[in-house]
Amino acid sequence: MKLIKGKPIAEAVYAECTRELEELKAAGHLPGLAVVLVGDDPASQAYVGSKERKCKELGFHSVKIEKSASISQDELLQVIDDLNADDSIHGILVQLPLPGDLDEQSVIHRIDPKKDVDGLHPANIAKLAMDEKDGFAPCTPSGCQRMLIEEGIETSGKNVVIIGRSLLVGKTLALLMMGKGPGGNATVTVAHSRTKDLAKVCREADILVAAIGMPHFVGPDHVKDGAVVIDVGINRIEDAEAAKGYRLVGDVDFDAVAERCSAITPVPGGVGVMTIAMLMANTVRACKLRHGLL
Ligand code: GUN
């Protein structure tokens, strides 16, 4: 069994970003990313903090906008309008989920598609569905695909089963992997909470992707011998012995499943690490696109 770690693959993506950053700087441009955080959800705060840190580490222009959960829909849309109009910003990410009654859909619709480095605007989803390569694909599915490509795992003609139909991961990863090109050309099944005989469906998978947000959901019954397992879950579970009172586990029961797999991603240290790397890569791309360098 091979452990597919995210870090070395993410480092390769960062090395590419650094090289491209130097080229952009030489041409007088600096990639800028704005991350918008609404409310005080601890997991969202942690994700946004990591994104901001990585931006600074790479030397990007970085803006973090924090708003209280009591912000009105119109005020939030105004924040987006201001970022759309700000020439120093090439990428905008609104951390999801939004708290309370805020309408995520209208916020996402408001982001300029050319700054939508999260790849969630309908224009970018359409480009993904139409196999047009000049849009932005969402970061977590792109990260999963990049891991498979870098590990030399063949996807063409393979059975891929994705558990979870979210736009953020399941649905968009399906579009990526059924698309043409490296990491694509797969036969994709998207399973979800209403799928009958889920374990049986999963056992058909050459590549099984778990993206449901349920700790240790995937067990040995779901995995055929020799399958590749990609675990997208990042779940906090209580752990009195951990310094923070919790630890992170995936959607896959790693210890029970690992020996069956030909390759598997760990949590933490797997897909999660890739998400931020792909966000940085998308931000560089947004900057290049804006300045006609792609
Ligand atoms: N929340 C969890 N993952 C993501 C992501 O990739 N993008 C955004 N905007 N919010 C998230």
CA distance 66 to 206: 42
pTM, whole model, 2 decimals?
0.96
CA distance 114 to 123: 9
Any catalytic annotation for residue 51?
A: yes
CA-to-CA separations, 43 to 52, 179, 211, in angstroms, rounded: 14, 32, 17
pLDDT value, residue 105: 97
Q: Is the CB of 277 under 6 A from ligand 1?
A: no
Q: Which of 114, 116, 118, 253 is catalytic?
A: 118
| CA 275 to ligand 1: nearest atom | 6
Any catalytic annotation for residue 118?
A: yes
> Is the separation of the CB atoms in 252 and 234 below 8 Å?
no
Residue 94 alpha carbon to ligand 1 centre in Å: 8
Reduced to 3 states (helix: H, G, I; strand: E, B; else coil), residue 91 is strand
| CA 140 to ligand 1: nearest atom | 6
pLDDT average, residue stretch 139-163: 98
pLDDT value, residue 2: 97
Q: Is the CB of 96 under 6 A from ligand 1?
A: yes
Residue 229 alpha carbon to ligand 1 centre in Å: 22
Q: What percent of the chain has pLDDT over 90?
A: 99
Reduced to 3 states (helix: H, G, I; strand: E, B; else coil), residue 200 is helix
Q: What is the pLDDT of residues 99-109, one digit of tens each?
A: 999 999 999 99
Q: Is the CB of 140 under 6 A from ligand 1?
A: yes
Residue 140 alpha carbon to ligand 1 centre in Å: 8
Mean pLDDT of the chain: 97
